[in-house]
Amino acid sequence: MIRSSEWREWGVPVTVAVTEYAVLAEAETRVRAAIAESEAACNPQRGDAEIHEVNLAQGIPVQVSPRLSALLRSALWVARMTDGTVSPLAADDAGIDEDATPPIHPLPDYSDIHLDGETVLAPFGVNLDITETARADTADRAAATVARSLECGVLVRMGDVTATAGHSPAGGWQVSVPGAGTVELPAGSAIATRVREESDAEQDGGNDVSGRWAQVTVIAEDALWADAAAAAALRRGAPAVRWLEQYDLAARLVDGDRVHTTRRWSRPHAA
């Protein structure tokens, strides 16, 4: 029997569901702890968040906690996998003003950020915001922790990012997708949906990009990759379909009345 709990934390709705009725309370406690640890490390809306130390260092190496180090490593991995389309830099730093005078020195990007163990060196002028990748990373970590410690199947959803771990219930995990009903997720897989917002247009310099998708849903082996791929596809426009196919990802892309799916989406339960 699946039992679940819902609340709101870190600015998004959170759901935890488990396959063992008796462990829900403990599972919720562990998920809340995982979220609290990540939020304390990198939520820029919190004045005491550890990431502010990195942003204020401006070219000086900073020793960070193991959790922030792991979250930064995940964010940098996502940036590399998406060729910088999904960047750990705050939106104001990632955008380019075409009317502005070209800088004398090249603007820093994610490749200029160095992480050696738990020491971070971000160049002068860099302002990091890894909230989105951190939420996905946290969903993965929380699900894995609950499954391992409580020996049950678990689903953790944060906003539109869902991670699973442990064994699945009969029929698999049923996850809703906006405009597409529900899809079946096997144990250990994840799903994420990204919807185009005004902030995405701002990062594109306000330009109307042909073939721009309004919504992208991706199924992958973990929530970090599913969310990163969905976010990257949302910003890549029409070429996103080929990019997703190269990684053999199950994906559904929507633009108005137009819906396109990758080959794997026809059988998302096998993703």
Residue 15 to residues 12, 124, 144: CA-CA distances in angstroms? 10, 39, 15
Q: Start-end ranges of CATH 3.10.520.10 in the chain?
A: 3-22+153-270
Which has the minimum average pLDDT: 53-67, 89-103, 165-179, 213-227? 89-103
pLDDT at position 81: 97
**20-27 long-range contacts, Cβ below 8 Å, gap at least 24?**
20/150, 20/151, 20/152, 20/153, 23/150, 23/152, 26/150, 27/146, 27/150, 27/152, 27/154
Please tell me the CATH code under which domain 3-22+153-270 is placed.
3.10.520.10
Is 80's pLDDT higher than 60? Answer: yes
* Average pLDDT value over all residues in the chain: 89
For residue 65, report the phi and psi dihedrals to the nearest 5 degrees: -70, 160
Mean pLDDT of 27-52: 97
Q: Start-end ranges of CATH 1.10.3980.10 in the chain?
A: 42-132
Which has the minimum average pLDDT: 89-98, 139-148, 211-220? 89-98
DSSP 8-state assignment for residue 121:
E
Q: Contact at 8 Å (CB) between 261 and 253?
A: yes
Q: Which residues pair with 201 in a beta bridge?
A: none
For residue 151, report the phi and psi dihedrals to the nearest 5 degrees: 50, 55
pLDDT at position 186: 83
Which tokens in the block code for residue 34?
């995982």
Q: Contact at 8 Å (CB) between 115 and 72?
A: yes
Hunting for tokens 């996103």 — which residue is that? 240
For residue 239, report the phi and psi dihedrals to the nearest 5 degrees: -65, -10
Mean pLDDT of 174-186: 89
Is 177's pLDDT higher than 50? Answer: yes
Q: Contact at 8 Å (CB) between 134 and 74?
A: yes
Is 206's pLDDT higher than 50? Answer: no
Which has the minimum average pLDDT: 1-5, 144-148, 173-177, 195-199? 195-199
pLDDT at position 94: 47
Burial 128-166 (b: 16+ CB within 10 A, else e): bbbbbbbbbbbbbbbbbbbbeebebbbbbbbbbbbbbbb
- Alpha-carbon span 85 to 229, nearest angstrom: 10
Is 230's pLDDT higher than 90? Answer: yes
pLDDT at position 69: 98
Q: Contact at 8 Å (CB) between 131 and 91?
A: no
Choose between 106 and 217: higher pLDDT: 217
Q: At what angle do helices 131-150 and 66-81 cross, to 10 degrees?
A: 120
For the 42-132 domain, the top CATH level (class) is mainly alpha
Choose between 203 and 229: higher pLDDT: 229
Tens of pLDDT along 45-74? 999 999 999 999 989 999 999 999 999 999
Q: What pTM value is reported for the model?
A: 0.89
Residues comprising the chain, all counted: 271
Q: How confident is the model at residue 257 (pLDDT cuts 50, 70, 90)?
A: confident
